[in-house]
Structure 1
Amino acid sequence: MKTTNLLKMKKVLFAIAITTSIFTGCSSDDDDPIVKAPVQGEISANYTTNTVLAYGNYTLKGMVKISSGVTLTIEAGSTITADKTDGEDGLVVLNGGKLIAIGTADEPIVLTEKSKVGGSWAGIIMYGDAPIVNSATAPTPQTATSEDGLGLPYGGSNLTHNGGTLKYVRVEYAGQVITTNSKEHNGFSFYSVGSGTVLENLVSYRGNDDGFEFYGGTVSGKNLISYANSDDSFDWQDGWRGQENTNWFAYQTGIANYGVEVESKSVNNTFWPKVTNMTLKRAAGTTTEAQSEIQLDAFQFKAEGNGDFSNIVIDGYNSQTTPTAFTGGAVQIRDLNTFNNQVLTGKIKLTNVKLNNTPTIFISGVSTINVSATSFGANWSVSATATGAAITGGKWATVDGVNLLANL
């Protein structure tokens, strides 16, 4: 009886040993992470049902729209490539639609163009129904028509409109201008986008128009990089009023206009946007896009544009000598109404400002005004300890081996 039990016990122990060897005797190669191969695909039709684009490489053909009530999700690490030879390309989020594009620092979502020439496609365009103000006399809510050639209305009363989430997304070589002042695109165009939308860690790289443009709305952006865009790095109009903007970096090189262009369709608003931690840098030798007007200041305010800006580094906004001599500076006020209604009433605030290689601080756009530090009072202050933007890099901020934050 004891011998039988002993034999049974030995069989059990042997079975346990075999089982253990199966799970622990694997080679070290089996411990390596599984590398997921990117899928190949084409984006050419409008999205009318919820869709997930798996991690992969996609070609973009046409002005592809995400319909109202539809969510398009793009997985981290994906690359979407337009080709200017097939016509006008762009990714458009219609009002009520959502784009969920959440990359990571090491696996950004990249939207680029085959030729790597600025102005080759339309970039990302998002519509909402957050408030805009484009007339002093029109009733609210107000609407306007887009300038992207689609001729779509934007505006409304939905402060918290949600167009989705964009994190660690880079747009390259966009800013297509087809007919000046009637059909223009930027890297990112936000038409009356609301505060429910998340914009974080975004790059607009080497576009032919503005890096980021806000057409009214209440959305805010965090950790934004506008690099080597040929017009303005950041631009807005229609009474944009985002309140939680922080860590903006503009690097202008080659051809570029203003670091920040601010206007409000000549409406003297009682509100304004707020941006903290900004670095605006202009590389030596950078010339203006057009020689017909002064376009090389860090900030330009016109048509009742305003805003509250703090912890700012302004670097390299010198005067231009060729091909046309222009005076560069830190702040330009373009017109009398903006001076009287925005500067003198404290609606333009520029505090904790550090100036490097920018000998001229204030520029008066017309002879009827004399802009100075006195004009701003306590709403202008300089500081040798201002730090500007603080942004953590990674693959999301690296293009062709170039660290976009190297000059921050």
Structure 2
Amino acid sequence: MKRNFLKLRSWAVIALIGSFTFTSCSDDDDNGGSGDGNEDEIVMENGTTLSGEIASGKTVILSSGYRFKLSGGYAVKNGAKLKIEKGVILTAVKDDIADYILVEQGGYIDAQGTADDPIIMTAEDQTPGGWGGIHICGYAHTNKGAGTKSEIGNAPYGGNKEDDNSGILRYIRLEYTGFSFDDEHESNGVSFYGVGNGTTVEYLQSYKGADDGFEFFGGSVNVKYLLATDNEDDSFDWTEGWNGKAQFLVATQLGTSGAKDMGDCLIEADNNGDDATATPVAFPTLSNLTLIGNNSTEGKRGIRLRAGTKVKIYNALVTGKPECLTTETEQTENALVSSASDASVLKYMTLSSDIKCNEGIYSSELFRTAENHNEINQTLSFENVYVGTVEGGADLSADSFFTKATYRGAVKKGADWTQGWTK
């Protein structure tokens, strides 16, 4: 993965040792809060700068239409809640402190914008790497082992509560996020750490981040209607055993050749980089994807399946990459040729190039068998960058999570779910 050192080294020290001295909003007379008769709720005044923590038992409310600033880490502690109403604009200030929102295990975020009035989280300097995005730590599984902590904020995550509920994220545009301190500590648009499937995630855009758009570290969270726009590393990334579901995903990497915003993989998928056989094995189910690169040979992979991951992918369009689909590691390719009930599935996919199989276990011929309904070396065209679908897809709606969409691609003409709230 590419590394971006846009922030000062002091950021790294703060984040790695996790040594912020947080001041609870409820105890600070200068925090900009105003009482509303409920001592457990703090309604923040317009223009307030957020920093520190929300203590257990407290709820901080960012009221509709107001503007706020973010300086440093802002942690939602176990038993605390952050409520962000529609139309809120939150701007990370330009300084030498790592700015990010961290929802710790047992914390709760209720951030609900609308298509007409989204929540906007941005950076004062309007450049990739301007702030650290949202980090959510839950009690669902990870296959990395005990004592695992988030890359940013040093917060524990993982457990065995697969229906864990960390909150609601809906209609949020996250701009200019993502920085990397080193090879092991990175920040994305949204980072899901052991997040459970009781959490609601839909209608999010990660716009021009300096690292990944959305990354999943284990967990079982399900996501819908996500757009990753010109992020400098991967658009979507999973590892540590993520086994959730996803539908209607768009990734675009349209930067010019040699530019940072050109991007790496449209999807980079691992089970566990240190142990490809670690359990639970990553095994998400994805449907209705539109993934678009700019044909650069520098970030040449579209969907990269490796490190033992399994996957089920249906109804996908992938274009603009010399290698639209690559498979790596014996475990990953064995799962693609298996006849077992838990085998990987790649069906109803249309690619603008051929696939590459590094281990020689899976092959382009197997990918293109009649029962898979897959196509390679096809010409794909879209309106308004990514609007357009190809007829002929699988119906997954027997599972209540999936909307019936028997076409390939994420955004159908005449039904553009990205209108109004994205950039």
Q: What's the TM-score once normalised by structure 2's chain length?
A: 0.74
- In the TM superposition, residue 271 of structure 1 has moved relative to its aligned partner by 6.7
- In the TM superposition, residue 376 of structure 1 has moved relative to its aligned partner by 7.7
| Contact map agreement 1:343 1:376 (CA 8 A) in 2 | no
Aligned equivalent of 1:259: 266
Aligned equivalent of 1:196: 198
Letter of the 1:388 counterpart:
G
| Contact map agreement 1:260 1:299 (CA 8 A) in 2 | yes
**Alpha-carbon separation, structure 1, partners of 2:303 and 2:143:** 21
Write out aligned runs for 1:12-51 (5 A). 39-48=46-55, 49-51=58-60
Aligned equivalent of 2:328: 334
Write out aligned runs for 1:61-76 (5 A). 61-76=71-86
**Gaps spanning 5+ residues in structure 1: where?**
1-37, 135-141, 289-294, 318-327, 400-408
Aligned equivalent of 1:348: 344
Aligned equivalent of 1:53: 62
Aligned equivalent of 1:300: 304
1:116 corresponds, among 119, 123, 126, to 126
**Alpha-carbon separation, structure 2, partners of 1:154 and 1:188:** 15
- Quickly say closer, same or farther: Cα 1:199–1:370, change in 2 above 3 A: closer
- In the TM superposition, residue 270 of structure 1 has moved relative to its aligned partner by 6.3
Listed one character per residue, the Cα deviations across residues 229-263 of structure 1 (whole Å, up to 9, x for unaligned) are 011110001110113x2110001122211111111
| Contact map agreement 2:282 2:309 (CA 8 A) in 1 | no
1:227 corresponds, among 208, 226, 229, to 229
- 2:136 is the counterpart of 1:126: yes
| Contact map agreement 2:129 2:178 (CA 8 A) in 1 | yes
Larger radius of gyration: 1
Root-mean-square deviation (CA), in Å?
2.1
- Quickly say closer, same or farther: Cα 1:297–1:144, change in 2 above 3 A: farther
DSSP-derived class of the 1:40 partner: coil
Letter of the 2:61 counterpart:
V
1:275 corresponds, among 286, 292, 311, to 286
Comparing 73-82 with 372-381, greater Cα deviation is found at 372-381
Comparing 232-241 with 261-270, greater Cα deviation is found at 261-270
| Contact map agreement 1:343 1:375 (CA 8 A) in 2 | no
- Quickly say closer, same or farther: Cα 1:97–1:88, change in 2 above 3 A: same
| Contact map agreement 1:300 1:333 (CA 8 A) in 2 | yes
- In the TM superposition, residue 184 of structure 1 has moved relative to its aligned partner by 0.5
Write out aligned runs for 1:119-158 (5 A). 119-134=129-144, 142-143=145-146, 145-146=148-149, 148-158=151-161
Identity, % of aligned positions = 31
**Alpha-carbon separation, structure 1, partners of 2:147 and 2:193:** 10
- In the TM superposition, residue 389 of structure 1 has moved relative to its aligned partner by 0.4
- 2:247 is the counterpart of 1:246: yes
Aligned equivalent of 1:104: 114
Aligned equivalent of 2:220: 218
**Alpha-carbon separation, structure 2, partners of 1:115 and 1:301:** 35
**Alpha-carbon separation, structure 2, partners of 1:287 and 1:71:** 45
- Quickly say closer, same or farther: Cα 1:379–1:183, change in 2 above 3 A: farther
Between the two proteins, the alignment pairs up a number of residues equal to 330
Letter of the 1:76 counterpart:
K
**Alpha-carbon separation, structure 1, partners of 2:187 and 2:216:** 12
| Contact map agreement 2:235 2:266 (CA 8 A) in 1 | yes
| Contact map agreement 1:143 1:153 (CA 8 A) in 2 | no
**Alpha-carbon separation, structure 1, partners of 2:229 and 2:137:** 24
**Alpha-carbon separation, structure 1, partners of 2:326 and 2:193:** 26
Name the structure with the higher helix share: 1
| Contact map agreement 2:191 2:216 (CA 8 A) in 1 | yes
Aligned equivalent of 1:31: none
2:101 corresponds, among 47, 72, 91, to 91
1:364 corresponds, among 325, 332, 357, to 357
DSSP-derived class of the 2:331 partner: helix
- In the TM superposition, residue 339 of structure 1 has moved relative to its aligned partner by 1.7
- 2:162 is the counterpart of 1:159: yes
**Alpha-carbon separation, structure 1, partners of 2:73 and 2:198:** 25
**Alpha-carbon separation, structure 1, partners of 2:420 and 2:95:** 28
DSSP-derived class of the 1:258 partner: coil
Letter of the 1:248 counterpart:
L
Q: What's the TM-score once normalised by structure 1's chain length?
A: 0.76
Aligned equivalent of 1:394: 419
Letter of the 2:113 counterpart:
G
| Contact map agreement 1:373 1:380 (CA 8 A) in 2 | no
- Quickly say closer, same or farther: Cα 1:228–1:144, change in 2 above 3 A: farther
Letter of the 2:164 counterpart:
H
Letter of the 1:394 counterpart:
Q
- Quickly say closer, same or farther: Cα 1:381–1:146, change in 2 above 3 A: farther
- In the TM superposition, residue 75 of structure 1 has moved relative to its aligned partner by 1.1
**Alpha-carbon separation, structure 1, partners of 2:221 and 2:371:** 24
- Quickly say closer, same or farther: Cα 1:287–1:375, change in 2 above 3 A: closer
**Alpha-carbon separation, structure 2, partners of 1:178 and 1:232:** 17
**Alpha-carbon separation, structure 1, partners of 2:209 and 2:371:** 33
**Alpha-carbon separation, structure 1, partners of 2:95 and 2:212:** 22
- 2:373 is the counterpart of 1:381: yes
Letter of the 2:327 counterpart:
I
DSSP-derived class of the 1:337 partner: helix
DSSP-derived class of the 2:95 partner: helix
- In the TM superposition, residue 99 of structure 1 has moved relative to its aligned partner by 0.6
- In the TM superposition, residue 387 of structure 1 has moved relative to its aligned partner by 3.1
2:319 corresponds, among 291, 315, 318, to 315
DSSP-derived class of the 1:168 partner: strand
- In the TM superposition, residue 273 of structure 1 has moved relative to its aligned partner by 0.9
- In the TM superposition, residue 68 of structure 1 has moved relative to its aligned partner by 0.6
**Gaps spanning 5+ residues in structure 2: where?**
1-44, 256-261, 376-389, 392-406
Write out aligned runs for 1:166-181 (5 A). 166-179=169-182, 181=183
- Quickly say closer, same or farther: Cα 1:375–1:227, change in 2 above 3 A: closer
- In the TM superposition, residue 375 of structure 1 has moved relative to its aligned partner by 6.1
